[in-house]
Copies of this chain bind each other. A is one copy, B any other.
Amino acid sequence: MVPHLVTALTGPINELEQRILDSTPAIERWFRLEWMEHTPPFYSAVDVRNAGFKLAPTNTDLFPSSWHNLTAEMLPLAVQAAMAAIEKICPEARNILLVPGNHNDNSFHLANLAQLKRIFHSAGLDVRIGSISPEINAPTEFAIPNSEPLVIEPVSAFKGRIGLKNFDPCMVLLNNDLSGGVPGILEELPTQYILPPLHAGWGTRRKSLHLQCYEDCAKRFGKLLGIDPWLINPIHGKVGEVNFREKHDTDLLASHVDALLSKVRRKYKEYGINEKPFVAIKSDIGAQGMGAVIVRDAKEIDQLPQRRAKDRLMGDRSSPEFVDKRSQARDLIVQEGVLTNERMNDLVAEPVVYMMDRYVVGGFYRVHAERRADESLNGPRSHYIPLAFARNHLPQSSNRPGGSAPNRFYMYGVVARLAMVAASYELEASDPDQEIYD
């Protein structure tokens, strides 16, 4: 039932895999020590791109919303990890309130909520789903294929706590990425555990802070393994505010792109990589997740507005939006593009690793039939192929590097956890109450 990897990758990635396998005890100990000092995000999902010569996380989602893509085999791991998380945070808890995003008409979203409900019920909590969307003003049933209907109820606030009718939760689990900002009803709830914390919302997060934290982690981890951290870390740069109507701003962006491409070219030369480097231009503000713009040359910057107009004309509505909102400056970053060399049934694929607390609990491949290896696969027509991470992410030292799916998945799990460590640093740095850490 489980699709196999169809690419047999060779080259530097296999050396990295071998190094990671040889260092399993040291790596796991490194993570253990990190988690003594830092709090892992409650849950997370990390997109990983394997270029064959380097491996990098490209997105760290702190409100993962595709739990339904985890197979039945993976669920016990998720449940066990949820048990461990609950035990640390609130062992006496009876009730957990799950707060979803506001797209209740989306069947994937509903399947995801049903799966989260199943996980936390099995872990030993009474789970109910409470929406903060104005559309839900009474308990509403939503049909789910092959399952009982899902009931979503309106959240109400009472005496500095939130809950549902006859349901007072100890923990509030947000599965809503708060990209529209933090709704007032979620603020100032001193006697309930709100997880993840509100400042993990995309309205607050800055990609540049996450990337900086990841770079620091990758450097320390590279030292542990004796590897060039570039093998697991895409180079990035913070550009700042860019108004596409201002020549000064576009020149600044072009110079950032140029500098980044030079650095990447030097690395490619060092490793004898025969690929054309490319750069992803992204909004620094998490909430403005309108997709990355890919450029291969700084000269392309000036043509971006026209490119978008042409894309739109060709019917590609996913073409990034920020270049034509000319009235407004955007806070931008540039990031080294990482190819994905993974293929599933001939389609470009990238693994997504799901974590609960500090544990890798599953994963799947994101596949897009219409995208190339140098494009984002996250879009309206992407689909998902579950992978038996649960069975397969334990290292098997007897297999030759590159030849074993379990070893490949173990490596993906290591890099995903590194991004999770970075997220924990990021959340400490962005915590509005951070003085309590001192």
**In the complex, A5 has a CB within 8 A of chain B:** no
A-B contact pairs, 6 of them (CB 8 A): A25-B124, A29-B93, A33-B91, A84-B84, A122-B395, A390-B390
Q: Are A27 and B80 in contact (CB under 8 A)?
A: no
**For residue A32, which residue of chain B has the nearest CB?**
B91
A69-77, A279-287, A371-379: which lies at the B interface? A69-77
CB neighbours (8 Å) of A92 from chain B are: 29, 32-33
CB neighbours (8 Å) of A358 from chain B are: 83
**In the complex, A79 has a CB within 8 A of chain B:** yes
**In the complex, A167 has a CB within 8 A of chain B:** no
Q: Contacting A80 at CB < 8 Å: which of B24, B80, B122?
A: B80
Considering the chains assembled together, what is the distance between the CA atoms of A372 and B84 in angstroms?
40
Q: Which of A84, A123, A147 has the most CB of B within 10 A?
A: A84
Since A33-B91, A35-B87, A73-B391 are in contact, a sample of 18 more A-B pairs with Cβ atoms closer than 8 Å, ordered by chain A residue number, is A24-B121, A24-B122, A29-B92, A29-B94, A31-B124, A32-B87, A32-B91, A73-B73, A73-B390, A76-B77, A76-B394, A77-B80, A80-B359, A83-B359, A122-B394, A122-B395, A147-B398, A148-B398
Question: Would A393 and B76 be within 8 Å (CB), given that A83-B359, A122-B24, A359-B83 are in contact?
Answer: yes
CB neighbours (8 Å) of A28 from chain B are: 83, 123-125
**For residue A87, which residue of chain B has the nearest CB?**
B32
Considering the chains assembled together, what is the distance between the CA atoms of A245 and B359 in angstroms?
60
Considering the chains assembled together, what is the distance between the CA atoms of A81 and B84 in angstroms?
9
CB neighbours (8 Å) of A393 from chain B are: 76
Q: Are A124 and B27 in contact (CB under 8 A)?
A: yes
What 0/1 pattern do residues 28 to 51 of A give for CB contact below 8 A with B?
Answer: 110111011000000000000000
Q: Are A121 and B73 in contact (CB under 8 A)?
A: no
Q: Are B394 and A79 in contact (CB under 8 A)?
A: yes
CB neighbours (8 Å) of A25 from chain B are: 94, 121, 124-126
Q: Which of A76, A91, A121, A122 has the most CB of B within 10 A?
A: A76
**For residue A146, which residue of chain B has the nearest CB?**
B398
Q: Are B390 and A29 in contact (CB under 8 A)?
A: no
**In the complex, A86 has a CB within 8 A of chain B:** yes
What 0/1 pattern do residues 10 to 35 of A give for CB contact below 8 A with B?
Answer: 00000000000000110111011101
Considering the chains assembled together, what is the distance between the CA atoms of A394 and B204 in angstroms?
37
Q: Are B36 and A391 in contact (CB under 8 A)?
A: no
CB neighbours (8 Å) of A91 from chain B are: 32-33, 35-36
Q: Are A76 and B391 in contact (CB under 8 A)?
A: yes
Question: Would A124 and B29 be within 8 Å (CB), given that A36-B91, A83-B359 are in contact?
Answer: yes
Considering the chains assembled together, what is the distance between the CA atoms of A33 and B83 in angstroms?
12
**For residue A148, which residue of chain B has the nearest CB?**
B398
**Which residues between 72 and 129 of chain A lie within 8 Å of chain B, taking CB atoms?**
72-73, 75-77, 79-81, 83-84, 86-87, 91-94, 118, 121-126
CB neighbours (8 Å) of A72 from chain B are: 391
CB neighbours (8 Å) of A73 from chain B are: 73, 390-391
Smallest Cβ distance from A128 to chain B, in angstroms? 11
Q: Contacting A124 at CB < 8 Å: which of B32, B122, B359?
A: B32
Considering the chains assembled together, what is the distance between the CA atoms of A266 and B122 in angstroms?
37
Q: Which of A81, A148, A391 has the most CB of B within 10 A?
A: A391
CB neighbours (8 Å) of A75 from chain B are: 394
**For residue A81, which residue of chain B has the nearest CB?**
B80
Smallest Cβ distance from A177 to chain B, in angstroms? 27
CB neighbours (8 Å) of A395 from chain B are: 122
CB neighbours (8 Å) of A24 from chain B are: 121-122, 124
**For residue A31, which residue of chain B has the nearest CB?**
B124
Considering the chains assembled together, what is the distance between the CA atoms of A80 and B24 in angstroms?
14
CB neighbours (8 Å) of A123 from chain B are: 28
Considering the chains assembled together, what is the distance between the CA atoms of A393 and B77 in angstroms?
11
CB neighbours (8 Å) of A118 from chain B are: 394
